Structure 1
Amino acid sequence: MDQDFMNRFTPRIHDILFRDEEHWRSHAYQVTIHSTRMCNLGFVVRGYGVLEVNGNSYDLGPGCYYQISPPGSSMKFTTNEANPLLYVAVHFDYRLAQWEGMSISSKESGSGIPMPHMLALDPVSGAEEQFRRLHQLWNGKQPGYEWRSRILLMELLGGMEKKQAAPSLAVLRAEEAIRKAIEHIHDHYKQPVNRDQMARICSMSVSYFALLFKKISGYSYVKYVHKVRMDKAKILLLSGLAPISEVASEVGYEDPLYFSKLFTREVGLSPSAYRKG
Structure 2
Amino acid sequence: MTRDFKHSFKTAQRPELSLAVYNAGFQKCPPLYGWGPGIRDHYLIHYILSGRGACRIGEGQWELQAGDAFLVRPEQTAHYQAAAEDPWEYYWVGFAGPSAPLLLSATVFAAGPVARPKAGDRLRQALLEIYKARGSGYSSAVRMAGYLQAALGLLMEEEPARPEEALADYARRGAQFIQRNYSRPIGVEEVAREVRLSRSHLYRAFQAVYGCSPSEYLTRCRLQRARQLLASTALPVGAVAASAGFEDPLYFSRLFRRRTGQSPSAWREARFGGGAATGLTPPAESPPDSPL
> Which structure has the greater CA radius of gyration?
2
- TM-score normalised by the shorter chain: which range applies? 0.3 to 0.5
TM-score normalised to structure 1 length? 0.45
